[in-house]
Amino acid sequence: MANRSKADSMSWKSECQAGSGAESVPRQMKTSAVNTSVFPILRFIAASIVVFFHFGQKLEYYPQVPVIFRAGPQMVTFFFVLSGFVLYLGYQRRELVFGQYLLKRAIKILPLYFLAFLMSVVLRILSGHLSFAEFLLNLFCLQSWFPHPLSLNFTSWFVSDLLFFYCVFPPILFVLKKTRPDGWKMVTVSLLLWAFTQGVLIILIKLLNTGMYAVHSYPIYELIMYFPLSHFCSFFMGICGAYFIQSNGVARRQGTTLSLLLTLFILCAVGLMVQFQPELNKLADCKLPFVSSFYAPVVLVLLCHMTLSTNSLLRVLSWPKFILWGEVSYALYILQAPMHTLYKYILPEDVAVQPGMYFVWFFVLLLFTAFLVTWVEKTIIRRLKIIV
C-alpha cells in the first residue's frame, strides 16, 4: 500500500465491490442506518497518497509535506478496514454462494491485476531481470506469503493479501449469521486480535533492530510489512465494525454543528497521530508498527462516524461525481509501478527526473486509469457478469 488497493476498499457497483483499495461500495448502499457515499473520494485520496509516497520522494519539497499526505503504508490499513466494513454491509442480508462470490470478487480485481502483471513481465524481460520464481508467485497471487513480495509489481502484494481475506470472509459471515453474537463482543474480539497482532509485530520490530537477523537472510521486514496475517486484524475489524452497526440498530444522526465538529476532530486527530509518530514511539518506549494495522481502530471510528453522520462536509465529500474517482482508485494503485517504469522508458532520463514531470506523469496516469476503468467496466466486467 503502500504498497491498492487498493482491490474491496474501492467500488464498484451493484454490490460491495473491490477496488484499489479494495472493497467498493454499491452506488446506492443507503439504508436507514448507514450511508457509504463518502467512501469513493476517501479511496481516491488514499490511493493518491500511496502514489505520492512511492514516486514523489524526489521532489525537493517532499520532506516539507505533512506526513499524512505521504503516509502511503498507513493507507493500506485504511483499505483493509474499509474492505471488511463494506464487504459485510454488502452481504449481511444476502445469501452468499461461495463459488459465485469468489468469481465476482475475482472479476472485480483480477483483470487489472493481470494487466499490471503482464506490463511488469514485459518490462522485466526487456531489462533482463525476470526470475521464474517471481513470475510464478505473482501469476498465482502468492507473493505476499513468501520472501521478497515486491519482486515484480511491487504494489501487487496488496492483492495477494486481499484474495486471502476474500477466502476467509465466507466462514466469518456464516458464523456471524448463525450465532448472532452481541455487537459489542465482536468489536471487543476484533480489538483483542488487533492488540495481539500489534504485540507480535512489536516483538518482530525489536528483533529486526537488534541486528540478530539480517534482513536479507531472515524476512522479518517482509513479515511486518506485507505478510497477510499482519494485516488480517484490520480486515476483521472492518467486518466487526459493520456488524456492530447493523446488529445494534445504530441510527444515523442528522446534520448538526456538533456532527461537523466531530468529523473535523477525528480527521485532525488522525493527521496529528501520523504527524507525530516519533513522539508516539517515545511515549510507548518502543517502535510501534505504524505501517501494519496500527491505525485500524482509528480508521474504524472514522468509517463508523461517516456512515452514521450527516453534515455539510460529508455532503460535499458525498458528491456523486466522486464515484468515478473511487472506481479509479484501484487501477491507480495497481498500475502505478508499471506505468512509472514505462514512463522512464519513454522519456529521456534528464527530462523524466524534472520535479514538474511528476505531476505530468500523475495526470497521465489518472487519465489512463479513468479511461481503462470505464472501458473495463463497460466491456469486460459487464459481459463477465452476464456469464456469471
**Phi/psi at 16 (nearest 5 deg)?**
-65, 120
What's the confidence (pLDDT) of residue 17?
37
What's the confidence (pLDDT) of residue 57?
85
Name the residue range of residue 212's domain. 17-387
The answer to whether residue 204 sits within a structural domain is: yes
The answer to whether residue 12 sits within a structural domain is: no
**Phi/psi at 175 (nearest 5 deg)?**
-65, -45
Alpha helices, DSSP H only, in 248-321? Answer: 257-275, 277-284, 296-308, 312-317
What gap in Å lies between CA 5 and CA 17, rounded to an integer? 12
What gap in Å lies between CA 323 and CA 276, rounded to an integer? 32
Per-residue pLDDT of 223-275, as tens digits, reads 999 999 999 999 999 999 999 998 877 666 666 788 899 999 999 999 999 99
The answer to whether residue 1 sits within a structural domain is: no
Per-residue pLDDT of 309-367, as tens digits, reads 888 898 899 888 888 888 899 999 999 999 988 888 887 766 666 767 778 888 989 99
Residues counted in the chain:
388
The answer to whether residue 162 sits within a structural domain is: yes
Q: Read off the pLDDT band of 196 (50, 70, 90).
A: very high
Alpha helices, DSSP H only, in the chain? Answer: 39-55, 72-91, 98-127, 132-139, 157-179, 183-210, 220-225, 228-247, 257-275, 277-284, 296-308, 312-317, 322-346, 349-352, 357-375, 382-387
What's the confidence (pLDDT) of residue 195?
98
Residue range 50-69: average pLDDT? 90
Instruction: Classify residue 209 as exposed, middle or buried by CB count within 10 Å of its CB (0-12, 13-18, 19+).
Output: exposed
Residue range 45-51: average pLDDT? 95
Residue range 273-280: average pLDDT? 95
Of 5-9, 285-289, 377-381, the range with the lowest mean pLDDT is 5-9
What's the confidence (pLDDT) of residue 34?
79
Distances (CA, A) of 6 to 31, 131, 138, 260, 268: 25, 26, 16, 28, 23
What's the confidence (pLDDT) of residue 167?
95
Burial 137-171 (b: 16+ CB within 10 A, else e): bbeebebbbbeebbbbbbbbbbbbbbbbbbeebee
Q: Read off the pLDDT band of 215 (50, 70, 90).
A: very low
What's the confidence (pLDDT) of residue 248?
79
Q: Is the pLDDT of residue 26 over 70?
A: no
Assessment of whether the complete model's pTM goes beyond 0.95: no
Residue range 52-57: average pLDDT? 90
The answer to whether residue 372 sits within a structural domain is: yes
Q: Is the pLDDT of residue 12 over 60?
A: no
What is the average pLDDT value for the chain, to the nearest integer? 85
What gap in Å lies between CA 314 and CA 306, rounded to an integer? 7
Residue range 290-315: average pLDDT? 93
Of 93-102, 128-137, 372-381, the range with the lowest mean pLDDT is 372-381
Of 101-115, 304-318, 372-386, the range with the lowest mean pLDDT is 372-386
Q: Is the pLDDT of residue 7 over 80?
A: no
The answer to whether residue 6 sits within a structural domain is: no
Domains in the chain: how many in total?
1
Q: Read off the pLDDT band of 376 (50, 70, 90).
A: low
Per-residue pLDDT of 180-193, as tens digits, reads 999 999 999 999 99
In percent, how much of the chain has pLDDT > 70?
A: 83
Closest by Cα among 43, 36, 35, 41 to 19: 43
Per-residue pLDDT of 149-182, as tens digits, reads 888 899 999 999 999 999 999 999 999 999 999 9
The answer to whether residue 8 sits within a structural domain is: no
Q: Is the pLDDT of residue 214 over 80?
A: no
What gap in Å lies between CA 360 and CA 337, rounded to an integer? 15
The answer to whether residue 134 sits within a structural domain is: yes
What's the confidence (pLDDT) of residue 137?
94
Higher pLDDT: 73 or 2? It is 73
Q: Is the pLDDT of residue 380 over 70?
A: no
